Amino acid sequence: MSAKKRGRSANQRAMSTTGYAYAFLLILETILIGVNAENRIQQGNSPIEVLIWMINQCIPVLKQASSLQEKQKKSLLPTHRRSEDR
């Protein structure tokens, strides 16, 4: 196996591990938003206000997930395709 192929597979494994870590953190962040929303409802906030608050909290999470997905797509493209995208 050539050094180039070994380097690429090691890079893909590292990206995969990093991707799983980011995914776990994004899921954890979403769960914490839900817990915080439940606390807000128990404190007497109206469900509509809490829902609006949750949507505003989830928008950055969705942006982060989308950004991560784009980075992973670009890192998995063959070298000649990456140069065409620039």
pLDDT digits (tens, 9 = 90+) for 28-83: 999 999 999 999 999 999 999 999 999 999 999 889 888 888 887 887 766 555 55
Closest by alpha carbon to 37, among 49, 24, 25?
49
pLDDT digits (tens, 9 = 90+) for 3-37: 555 555 665 666 677 778 888 988 999 999 999 99
Give how far Cα 67 sits from Cα of 10, 21, 23, 29, Å.
22, 14, 12, 16
Question: Taking the complete model, does pTM exceed 0.85, yes or no?
Answer: no
Dihedral sign computed on CA atoms, order 51, 54, 23, 62: positive
